Amino acid sequence: MRLLHPFMPFITEEIWQTIPHEGESIVIQSYPASNAAWKDSQAEQLFTLLEQTVSLVRTGRVLLNYPPGQSIPFSVSHEDQNKHRQLQQLERHLTHLSRGAAGVAPQSAWPKTKLLRLVTEGLSIGLVVSGDVDLKKALDRVVKQQEEQEKEVGRLVGKLGNREFVAKAPAEVIADHQTRLQGLRSDQASMWHELLDTQRDFKRTLTRLLENLVSFLTDTRDLMRDNDARLKLLESKLT
């Protein structure tokens, strides 16, 4: 109640008055003090990684225009081996929160085709592209995301190149900007690689569709020729 009181003063006061308590009002109670023994840095790291992975999977779901309730298989890996092991610990939570089937494995073990890959800060996810997905639209969305990243890179480069900003900004802010810029540039390099893979998948799919269309038209032409021949034979017999 004391933690919530600054954000929900009237409701917490009402509840405070109806349950056993000390003092006339929650307003004059001391705010809870933090306990160092409760701090768990490993749990915080796990949760951060879980949140980051689920967010990336949901981004991929939006890019492919999958309905929120559709279960999708996806692969996950991390270039940091320690974080990769942490992902293995989180696998069942990833499956539940992402509404899919998570598979934590090295990228070498991922499917080679029909896969949309997204990368951020060393974390990679690969979502299986189903047959009814419009790859052209998905590709356009990925390109748009890349353009937004380029704008953010330009903004960070501009700020770090501004002598006045560098002179006045705290050291931790400068370090944060530099780390973010480095991460974005790494993501861009990976994104272009995955974009090329997606383009190749799109071209292969389009090629297969064209081949099927040509085969269908050829079969239709042959069928029409056979029908014409039968009609002519029937006409000759009738006459």
**Which pLDDT does position 210 carry in this prediction?**
60
**CA-CA distances (angstroms) from residue 162 to 169, 184, 185?**
11, 19, 19
Tens of pLDDT, residue by residue over 80-134, are: 999 999 999 999 999 998 888 899 999 888 888 778 888 888 889 988 887 666 6
Mean pLDDT across the chain: 80
Which residues are registered as beta bridge partners of 102? 74
Q: How far apart are CA 219 and CA 211, in angstroms?
A: 12
**Which pLDDT does position 87 carry in this prediction?**
93
Dihedral (CA of 161, 166, 170, 171) sign: positive
Amino acid at 113: T
Q: How far is CA 216 from the centre of its chain?
A: 38
Q: How confident is the model at residue 204 (pLDDT cuts 50, 70, 90)?
A: low
Mean pLDDT computed over 34-42: 85
Tens of pLDDT, residue by residue over 142-195, are: 677 777 778 888 888 888 888 888 888 888 888 888 887 777 666 655 555 555
**Which pLDDT does position 132 carry in this prediction?**
67
**Which pLDDT does position 85 carry in this prediction?**
93
211 compared with 143, residue with greater pLDDT = 143
Which residues are registered as beta bridge partners of 75? 103, 126
Q: How far apart are CA 11 and CA 19, in angstroms?
A: 13
Mean pLDDT computed over 16-40: 87
**Which pLDDT does position 176 carry in this prediction?**
85
Q: How confident is the model at residue 234 (pLDDT cuts 50, 70, 90)?
A: low
206 compared with 71, residue with greater pLDDT = 71
**Which pLDDT does position 209 carry in this prediction?**
55
**CA-CA distances (angstroms) from residue 212 to 74, 199, 215, 216, 227?**
29, 20, 5, 6, 22
Q: How confident is the model at residue 223 (pLDDT cuts 50, 70, 90)?
A: confident
Per-residue 3-state assignment (H helix, E strand, C coil) for the chain:
CCCCCCCCHHHHHHHHHHCCCCCCCHHHCCCCCCCHHHCCHHHHHHHHHHHHHHHHHHHHHHHCCCCCCCCEEEEEEECCHHHHHHHHHCHHHHHHHHCEEEEECCHHHCCCCCEEEEEECCEEEEEECCCCCCHHHHHHHHHHHHHHHHHHHHHHHHHHCCHHHHHHCCHHHHHHHHHHHHHHHHHHHHHHHHHHHHHHHHHHHHHHHHHHHHHHHHHHHHHHHHHHHHHHHHHHHHC
Q: How confident is the model at residue 15 (pLDDT cuts 50, 70, 90)?
A: very high
**Which pLDDT does position 181 carry in this prediction?**
76
In total, the chain counts a number of residues equal to: 239
In the block, which residue shows the tokens 């056993």? 20
